[in-house]
Structures are given as C-alpha cells and as structure tokens.
Amino acid sequence: MTKVAIVLSGSGVFDGSEIYESVLTFLALEEKGVEYQCFAPDIQQLHVINHLTGDVAEGESRNVLVEAARLARGEIKELGEARVEDFDALIVPGGFGAAKNLSDFAIKGADMSVLPAFLDFAKGMHAAGKPVALICIAPTMAARIFGDGVKCTIGNAEDVAEAINTMGGKHQACPVDEVCIDADNKLVTTPAYMLAGSISEAGKGIRRCVDEVLKLV
C-alpha cells in the first residue's frame, strides 16, 4: 500500500498549518485508499497569533508538535522519526507555519533558511526519487530543497513569486483549481488558500495535487 508522510507546522492559518488545507489533504488521501502518517517538529512556534483579532499574543508560547497533534487527532510523530525508506511521497500543507516554523521565510524572505530536520527529510525524499507536494505558501521552500531551476507555484502573488525566483526557483502563475508539476523533480504545487475564497475552491486544487503526486509514485 502507498504510504505518504505529511509534515505539519502547528495548527492555525496564521502561525501553524492551515486547518482546511490539512484536513482536505487527509480526506483526499483517504478517498484514494492511501495510508498517511503525520509528523511535526518538536520546537516552539515563532509566535502565537490570536486568530480572533489577528494580533500576536504577547507572552504566549506554543509547541509546534503539540499544536499539530490537534489536527492529527493525536496520531502524529516527531519529525526526527520520519525515515525516507518508510514512505512513497511527502506532502506539506500550507499555513504560515510553513513560513514561520518550518522555515523563516516570513521574516527573511529570499534570504530564508529551512529547519534542518525538515530540509534533511525533504531532500532525502527527493534524492530517493520520491514525489513531494508543497501547498499554499510551502513552495517558498522549493528552491532550498530542490535547487536552482525548480518549477513551482504559489498562485499569482507577485512579491512571493519574485522571492522564489530570486532564490533560484522558477515561479509559474497558476489558478486555484490547478497545479504546477515539475516532472524532473517530481514536485507538485498548488495555490490553495493563497488564492482560494472557500473550502471548495481550495479542495479542487488539493485533490488534483494529491492525484498528481500519487501518479508520480
């Protein structure tokens, strides 16, 4: 049976994994009869956002793994336990946790670095010829994982696209219900909530993203 690793970055669009994107990914995989295992790093979040007001919750701190366990209903492992040989593909939902906890893109832009534990696992999957899907803002990490010339999309946000190109990637504009496929690198990306105005819109692209990843397995 095909088995997919899903790396989460917390719980909540503004400081962790985007909840709808994560659940839509789980659902799309289950509908295909694919087994998956969630992982997250055991680190503190960059900060905590009050999702009611959008403000930073001063003085609060949360753990990425503990928060991601909410999304995975407790069925989650620490990222360091992920082994390339155990999985056929890797999927990373979006949410600003990808740009704040798995990387520091939200702070440093094109000068970003990727969390070493995640970078090692993602590069290992790529080196083993296994497909990777990056959703929403997560494709900002593509050039760090795959190197110069990698094709990816975050939709049509010009500032983010420019940063991707500056890092050596090749950004492709893409509508919300479509995907960008870099066949050489076995990378599939889709804009999701970089463009989506509803769950159903995000779902169209995510389902297609999952379908294309599974074709590459």
Residue range 5-46, pLDDT digits in tens: 999 999 999 999 999 999 999 999 999 999 999 999 999 999
Give the CA angle between residues 79, 45, 156 to the nearest 5°: 90
Distance between CA atoms of residues 75 and 68, nearest Å:
10
> Is 38 among the catalytic positions?
no
Write down the catalytic residue from 136, 174, 180, 209. Answer: 136
Determine what percent of the chain is predicted with pLDDT higher than 90.
100
**The CATH number of domain 3-216, selected from 1.10.10.10, 3.40.50.880, 3.90.228.20, 3.40.50.720:** 3.40.50.880
Residue range 96-149, pLDDT digits in tens: 999 999 999 999 999 999 999 999 999 999 999 999 999 999 999 999 999 999
Q: What is the model's pLDDT at position 6?
A: 99
Residue range 50-79, pLDDT digits in tens: 999 999 999 999 999 999 999 999 999 999
Residue range 117-128, pLDDT digits in tens: 999 999 999 999
φ/ψ (deg, to 5) at 28: -60, -40
Q: Say which residue the tokens 């620490």 belong to.
A: 78
